[in-house]
Structure 1
Amino acid sequence: MAQIQKKSAQQTLLTALFMLFMSAVAADTVEQVTTSDGGLALSSHGGLVASGIIAGIALIVIGFICNYFGYKLVKVLVFLAGFCVVGGLVLYAEYKIRAPREDEKGRQIWYLAIAAVFGLIGGGISMFLFKVGVALVGALGGFALATWILSMKSGGLIHSDVGRILFIVALIIVGMLAALFLQTPAIVVSSSIWGSYALFVGIDCFARTGFQNTALDFLNTPGAVYETSPKVYAMIACMAVSALLGILVQFWLIRKRKGHHPYGNLA
C-alpha cells in the first residue's frame, strides 16, 4: 500500500510540474516582449507581464525541487530531463530553420505545440529507457555548468561562437558519461547544478539582472544580449552556493535512507 501511495504521489507531482512548466512556456511565447536591455519578461511600459511571473514561478519551483530533491525524486527528474532536452532541441531547431516574426503568434504556438509533443515523447522514452534518462540528467548538468562558467564575462568567457559550442558540447558529454558510470554522485551533482541554474533563471524573471539571457546568448540566438554587472555576479555566486548546498542536502538525504537506490540497478 505504501508503495502504491508513493507511486501515486510521484505521478501527481510529475503532472503538476509538467502543467506548470507548459503554462509558463505557453504564456511566455504568446506575451513576451524583448526589451533594450535583453530582458524577455517586460511589457512595453517596463512592467513585469503575466508571462514573466508564471515562467519565473515555474522555474523557481522546478529548479528548487531538482536542486535539493533531484535524486530522491529521480523519476520526476528523468522525465523532466527527457522533456527539456528533446523539446528544447526541437524548439531550437524550429527557430533556427525559420524564426517566426513578431506578428506570427500562430506559428509561435505551433512551434511550441510541436516541441511539447516531442518533449513528452522524450520524457516517456527516458522513463522506459532509464539509462538514457540518467544520461540526459548528466547532459543538463553539464550544460548548466558550462553556462555558469561562460557567464563570468560579458558575451561569454569564450567569445568565439565555435569555441563556445565546443565547450558546451564537451561538458555535456562529460556530464552524460559521469552520470552513466558514476551514477549516484553524478546524478546528485548534475541535478543540483541544473536545478540551481533553473532556480536563478526563474528568480531573474523578477530581479531582471540579465542572468536569464546566458543560455540564449551562448547558443548564438539572434537578439540575445548578455552583459555582466555586479547584480549578475551576485546571481552567479548565489547559484554556486545553492548548487553546493543542494549537493550537501541530497547526500545527507541519501545517507539518511541508508544507501537505498530509488532508481534501482542501472547495470
Structure 2
Amino acid sequence: MKGFIKWTFFCAIVALFLVGSIDSQPTPTSIAVARRQEADNDVNEFHNVGSKTTSTKTSKSTSKPTGKPHSDGKGSGNTAPMVIAVGGAAWYAAVYGTESGISPQMASLGAILIVLGLFLAGMGFRLAKVMFAVMGLLTLGSMTWIALANLRPEAGYSRDSITMIVVPVGVGVVGAIAYYLLWTIAMYLSAAFGGFLFAVYICTWRSDLLIVHLIGRSCFLAGMALAFTIVVYFAHRPIMMFTTSFVGAYIFFFGIDCLARVGYIAGAEKLLNRNPLHLVDYELGKYVYVLLALTLFLFLVSFAWQFIFNAAVDFGIHVAAAVKGKDEEGGGGGD
C-alpha cells in the first residue's frame, strides 16, 4: 500500500508538469484572435493618424529603446511595460546593483551563499538541525526579497541596495531560529522550498522560462513545492537528501554569479519579479549554460556523496548499524 501511494504521488508530479507545459503553448483560437486584433489595430491607426503616421514611424526608427516589449504570456498580442534589455548598464544595475564592478553588498551576499551552499551540499543531511536553520534563513529571506521586489516603487526604496539585501537577511535570521526550534515542522517547509527552487531551476533552462503561460508557470512552481511537502512524509530520507543537495548546489552558483555577473541570477529574477516597473530580460548565453550545467553536476555529486557518507545515518537523528551484523550504536533506532 505504501509503495502504491508513493507511485501515485510521482505520477501526479509528472502529470502536473505535462499540464503546465501544454498550457504554455498558444492555441489556434488564441492565435487567430490575436491576428484579427492586430489587423483591426492597423486599420484604426491608418484612419486615425493619417498623414502623421509616416513622420511618427520615422522618429521611432531613429530612436534607440533601452528595452523591448514584454509579452503577457497569454498569446493575446498585448504588451506590458518595457523590459530592460540584457547587456546594458541599466540591466547590470537592475540585476546586480551596479553598472560595473561588484558592490560590497553583492560581494557579501555572494560569499555567504557560497559558504551556505557548500555546507548544504556536503553536510546538510547529517547536521540536520543546523541544516534547518540554514533552510529557514534561505526560505524566509528569499520570500521577503520576492515581496520587496514586486512591491518596489519606480525610484526604489530609501537606500535601495541595502534594503533589498539587509531586510531579507534580517527576516531570514528570524526564520533560522524558528526552523531550528521547530524542526519537525521545518522538515516539511524545507522540502517545499527544495521543490520550489527545483522548479525555478527547470524554468530557467529557456530564455522564455520554459512555461510561457503565467498561470501554468505559477501552478508548476506551487505544485512542485506541494508535491515535495507531501512526498517527504512517506520518504523523508531521499527527499531531504535531494533537497539539501540541490539547494546547496543552486545557491552555491547563485553566489558565484553575484561575483561573476554573467546573468545566471537574471533567470530567477525574471521568473519571480513581476513588478512592471522593474522587469529584466534573461538570455541563455554560453556562461549561463555553463553555470546551469555545473549546478546539475554539483547536485549529482553532492547527492551521491551524502548517500554514501550518511549510509549509517537516518536524517541525522536515528543512527543505524554501518556494517551488517553489528548492533546499532549512537542511541536511538529507526521509527
TM-score of the two chains, using structure 2 as the length reference: 0.61
Q: Which has the larger radius of gyration?
A: 2
Name the amino acid aligned to 1:58: I
Instruction: Quote how far apart the aligned CAs of 1:224 are.
Output: 2.9
Cα distance in 1 between the residues matched to 2:102 and 2:164: 25
1:6 matched to which residue of 2? none
The list of structure 1 runs, each at least 4 consecutive aligned residues, that deviate by more than 6 angstroms after superposition, is: none
Structure 2 residue aligned with 1:68, among 122, 125, 133? 122
Q: CA RMSD in A?
A: 2.9
1:161 matched to which residue of 2? 214
Q: Which segment drifts farther, 163-172 or 238-247?
A: 163-172
Query: Cα deviations across residues 177-227 of structure 1 (Å, max 9, x unaligned)?
Result: 233321111101111111111011111122222111222211143323221
2:308 matched to which residue of 1? 252
Secondary structure, counterpart of 1:209 in structure 2: coil
Q: Which segment drifts farther, 58-67 or 172-181?
A: 172-181
The question of whether the paired residues in 2 share the 8 Å contact of 1:155 and 1:217 is answered with: no
1:228 and 2:284 correspond: yes
Instruction: Quote how far apart the aligned CAs of 1:108 are.
Output: 6.0
Secondary structure, counterpart of 1:72 in structure 2: coil
Cα distance in 1 between the residues matched to 2:130 and 2:202: 27
Instruction: Quote how far apart the aligned CAs of 1:35 are.
Output: 3.6
Give unmatched runs, 5+ long, in structure 2: 1-88, 319-332
Structure 2 residue aligned with 1:202, among 239, 255, 258? 255
Aligned pair in 2 of structure 1 residues 261, 192: CA closer, same or farther (>3 Å)?
A: closer
| Alignment of structure 1 residues 110-121 onto 2, 5 Å | 112-113=166-167, 115-121=168-174
The question of whether the paired residues in 2 share the 8 Å contact of 1:56 and 1:202 is answered with: yes
1:85 and 2:139 correspond: yes
The question of whether the paired residues in 1 share the 8 Å contact of 2:97 and 2:161 is answered with: no
1:36 matched to which residue of 2? 91
Give unmatched runs, 5+ long, in structure 1: 1-33
Secondary structure, counterpart of 1:218 in structure 2: helix
Name the amino acid aligned to 1:41: Y
The question of whether the paired residues in 1 share the 8 Å contact of 2:232 and 2:240 is answered with: yes
1:211 and 2:274 correspond: no
Cα distance in 2 between the residues matched to 1:39 and 1:237: 25
Aligned pair in 2 of structure 1 residues 39, 116: CA closer, same or farther (>3 Å)?
A: closer
**Greater per-residue strand proportion:** 2
Instruction: Quote how far apart the aligned CAs of 1:112 are.
Output: 4.3
Cα distance in 2 between the residues matched to 1:202 and 1:194: 12
The question of whether the paired residues in 2 share the 8 Å contact of 1:78 and 1:123 is answered with: yes
Secondary structure, counterpart of 1:36 in structure 2: helix
The question of whether the paired residues in 2 share the 8 Å contact of 1:35 and 1:42 is answered with: no
Query: Cα deviations across residues 74-122 of structure 1 (Å, max 9, x unaligned)?
Result: 2121112223223332443344345473362179639944x55543343
Cα distance in 2 between the residues matched to 1:187 and 1:208: 30
Aligned pair in 2 of structure 1 residues 200, 90: CA closer, same or farther (>3 Å)?
A: closer
Instruction: Quote how far apart the aligned CAs of 1:62 are.
Output: 0.8
1:14 matched to which residue of 2? none
Aligned pair in 2 of structure 1 residues 260, 180: CA closer, same or farther (>3 Å)?
A: closer
The question of whether the paired residues in 2 share the 8 Å contact of 1:67 and 1:243 is answered with: yes
Q: Which segment drifts farther, 246-255 or 177-186?
A: 177-186
TM-score of the two chains, using structure 1 as the length reference: 0.75
The question of whether the paired residues in 1 share the 8 Å contact of 2:204 and 2:267 is answered with: yes
Query: Cα deviations across residues 43-73 of structure 1 (Å, max 9, x unaligned)?
Result: 34x2222222222111111111111211022
Aligned pair in 2 of structure 1 residues 223, 152: CA closer, same or farther (>3 Å)?
A: same
Instruction: Quote how far apart the aligned CAs of 1:229 are.
Output: 1.5
Secondary structure, counterpart of 2:98 in structure 1: coil
Cα distance in 1 between the residues matched to 2:246 and 2:112: 17
Structure 2 residue aligned with 1:179, among 206, 228, 232? 232
Identity %: 23
Aligned pair in 2 of structure 1 residues 37, 244: CA closer, same or farther (>3 Å)?
A: same
The question of whether the paired residues in 1 share the 8 Å contact of 2:207 and 2:283 is answered with: yes
2:67 matched to which residue of 1? none
Cα distance in 2 between the residues matched to 1:217 and 1:97: 15
